[in-house]
Amino acid sequence: MSIGIDQACVQILDGPCTNMWTYGGTYPGLTIRRPTGQTTNVTFSNNLDPAVGALTVHNHGNHSSPENDGRPNEFLIGTGESRTYTYTGLEDGVNERGTMHFYHDHLMDVTGRNVWMGLAGLYIIDDPADPATLPSGAFDLPLAIADRQFDANNQTPYVFDPDGVTGDKILINGVYQPYFDVGDRKYRLRILNASNARIYNLTLSTGDSFIQIGTESGLLPAPVTRTEMRMGPAERLDVVVDFAGRLAQDVYLTDTLTGMQLLQFRVTQHLVDDSTIPPTLRSLPDIGEPTVTRTWDFDKTAGHWTINGLRFDPNRVDARPVLGTTEKWIFTNPTGRPHTVHIHDVAQQCLSRNGGPCYPYETMKETWYLDPSETLEVKLKFTDHIGMYMLHCHMIEHEDDGMMTQFEVIAPRAAPTPRPRPTPLPRPTP
Ligand code: C2O
Ligand code: CU
């Protein structure tokens, strides 16, 4: 498929439309939805004003080879150019797990600006190995949450602030204060925090629970019941909400940190509910035990956001894990601000949080919430692709300010080949 990266004037608020940079003329961009295990080629064309410069598209959460990963400083899409990204839908010899990824621009130094201007869209992988009884079709709703600051003309000029750019209006799928007509039955909500830097704490106005069934990296081993869900930038929550018994009521998805009602569900019709949530969902893949340990401090150094004291430098590689091996990575946060740790290439499994157990809803992810003073241990196995991948904070202004680094997956050293032994020559007897 082909997606033009075009400037478009998008009607968001009453009054003037908002000039945005879009994937396919809409915000969020066109949703790509594919069965797992099928190769998908997406050609993006950079039709934006030359002043915007080159672009690069990262399929966040996907297991892509480096050339298809939307690297920040190479394999770029110059103005007027196109680039085709190939996603195989495979991981470690099997189909990628079903989940909702998202794709967004990742250009070095200006990712925050490019995403704020609109360059983000959803990428859903459907997996026939996942239970078919979960709510589906019209009862499966992707919800991208993003805040924006509008000026008097309804425009969203971007002003970089290393602490994070936020806005006072919160959009769901690009709509301000939306409502949705629903029936009194279960719905699956696939929630993405598509904001540059804002954190949400989601609840339902009724006090009802969410049943969390998945994360960025597919279904959980078993559902987890939660009444509130904190969510940092780029995290995803795959949840089921049951509106049974709420006929003729309004239920709001609420953010307790701002006190705002983000989305209104109007329960307007009675529907028979044929969906169920199985008590077990999907076991974790066995990725073995770690043989190497690395520590990454998400820090602030000399007034900038850093990892292990250093700002991003495209000419520096901070780790060279070996293809086919499993490593333990430890993340610390000595700063007074939360960060969301995102690792490209492969999903990670949680080993411990603050020396104790992980939250039951963070068994496997690729974007991790890290509060001040927290320590998180994960393990990850490098499969399929060698080459360069990113590791960074997904509060995008922290990333642009320097809280990003890269690692290179390298091929295992070939086993030493036995040298041919020269046939001993008979020596003259003295
Ligand atoms: Cu969604 Cu490297 O980012
Ligand atoms: Cu950060």
Measured CA to CA, the distance from residue 19 to residue 10 in angstroms comes to 6
Q: Nearest to residue 325, comparing CAs of 251, 386, 248, 274?
A: 386
DSSP SS3 for 50:
helix
pTM of the model: 0.95
**Residue 399 CA, closest ligand 1 atom number:** 2
**Residue 392 CA, closest ligand 1 atom number:** 2
B/e letters for 332-368, b = 16+ CB within 10 Å, e = fewer, are: bbebebbbbbbbbbbbbbbeebeeeebeebbbbbbbb
Q: Is the CB of 230 under 6 A from ligand 1?
A: no
What is the chain's pLDDT, residue by residue, as a tens digit (430 residues)?
999 999 999 999 999 999 999 999 999 999 999 999 999 999 999 999 999 999 999 999 999 999 999 999 999 999 999 999 999 999 999 999 999 999 999 999 999 999 999 999 999 999 999 999 999 999 999 999 999 999 999 999 999 999 999 999 999 999 999 999 999 999 999 999 999 999 999 999 999 999 999 999 999 999 999 999 999 999 999 999 999 999 999 999 999 999 999 999 999 999 999 999 999 999 999 999 999 999 999 999 999 999 999 999 999 999 999 999 999 999 999 999 999 999 999 999 999 999 999 999 999 999 999 999 999 999 999 999 999 999 999 999 999 999 999 999 999 986 666 666 666 666 666 5
Cβ contact 16:109 at 8 Å: no
The pLDDT score that the predictor gives to residue 413 is 84
Q: Is the CB of 353 under 6 A from ligand 1?
A: no
Strand partners, 90: 95
Residues 6+ apart with CB under 8 A from 132: none
For ligand 2, the distance from its centroid to the CA atom of residue 307, given in whole angstroms, is: 10
For ligand 2, the distance from its centroid to the CA atom of residue 193, given in whole angstroms, is: 15
**Sign of torsion, CA 291 404 83 33?**
positive
Ligand 1 atom 1: residue of nearest CA: 60
Q: Is the CB of 106 under 6 A from ligand 1?
A: yes
Residues 6+ apart with CB under 8 A from 330: 293, 294, 295, 296, 375, 376, 377
The pLDDT score that the predictor gives to residue 34 is 98
Q: Nearest to residue 150, comparing CAs of 172, 167, 171?
A: 167
DSSP SS3 for 302:
coil
Q: Is the CB of 101 under 6 A from ligand 1?
A: no
The pLDDT score that the predictor gives to residue 423 is 65
Q: Is the CB of 234 under 6 A from ligand 1?
A: yes
Q: Is the CB of 71 under 6 A from ligand 1?
A: no
Q: Is the CB of 188 under 6 A from ligand 1?
A: no
Ligand 1 atom 3: residue of nearest CA: 60
Closest ligand relative to 393 C-alpha: 2
For ligand 2, the distance from its centroid to the CA atom of residue 398, given in whole angstroms, is: 5
For ligand 2, the distance from its centroid to the CA atom of residue 314, given in whole angstroms, is: 19
Q: Is the CB of 390 under 6 A from ligand 1?
A: yes
For ligand 2, the distance from its centroid to the CA atom of residue 385, given in whole angstroms, is: 27
Cα separations in angstroms, 268 against 195, 254, 271: 30, 20, 10
Measured CA to CA, the distance from residue 183 to residue 269 in angstroms comes to 5
Measured CA to CA, the distance from residue 88 to residue 221 in angstroms comes to 25
Measured CA to CA, the distance from residue 358 to residue 235 in angstroms comes to 16
**Cis status, amide bond into 28, omega within 30 of 0:** yes
DSSP SS3 for 322:
strand
DSSP state of 67: G
- Tokens 């869900």 identify what position? 229
The pLDDT score that the predictor gives to residue 169 is 98
Q: Is the CB of 344 under 6 A from ligand 1?
A: yes
For ligand 1, the distance from its centroid to the CA atom of residue 414, given in whole angstroms, is: 32
Which residues are in the CB-under-5-Å shell of ion ligand 2? 339, 393, 395, 398
The pLDDT score that the predictor gives to residue 158 is 98
**Residue 390 CA, closest ligand 1 atom number:** 2
